[in-house]
Amino acid sequence: MRFISLLLLTFSLSSAQTSYEKGKALYLAKVCYSCHGHKLEGMNTFPRLANRAKGYMSYKLKRFRSKQADTQAQEMMITYSVNLSDEDIDDLTTFMYEYIDEESSERYDDSFQTHGDGGS
């Protein structure tokens, strides 16, 4: 039995190598999709997570992990983040930030560029 779990562990580690893939596996394993959607698109009051700033997302997840929530709705997130390690959060936020919809290859980029065309 122990051998089989070790085998499964080795398999899951070797099949999920990049941070993006590990984040994706975590996103599925931790059922984040049940609220945030299979395409990270959000649902009703549950926020969209696709292509959101990595730094902000990890700041939020670490706050939830330390049981801090600003609103009652956010308290829902505490349960889903208390067991996340720093590495888990890093993988999850990489997955969110770099998320690509594999069916349409669409990617939204909401990063703000301060240097523009000078308002022409």
Binding site for ligand HEC (CB under 6 A): 30-32, 34-36, 45-47, 49, 57, 60-61, 71, 73-74, 76-77, 80, 92
Give the nearest distance from C-beta 104 to ligand HEC in angstroms: 22
Residue written as tokens 């990049």?
18
* Residue in 84, 38, 28, 29 with CA at minimum distance from that of residue 61: 84
CB of residue 16 to ligand HEC, shortest distance in Å: 16
CA 83 vs. chain centroid, Å, equals 14
Residue closest to 96 by CA, chosen among 52, 64, 56 = 52
Residue 119 CB, nearest distance to ligand HEC (Å)? 30
Question: How far is the C-alpha of 89 from the C-alpha of 99, rounded, in Å?
Answer: 15
CB of 81 to ligand HEC, least distance (A): 6
Token couple for 4: 């089989």
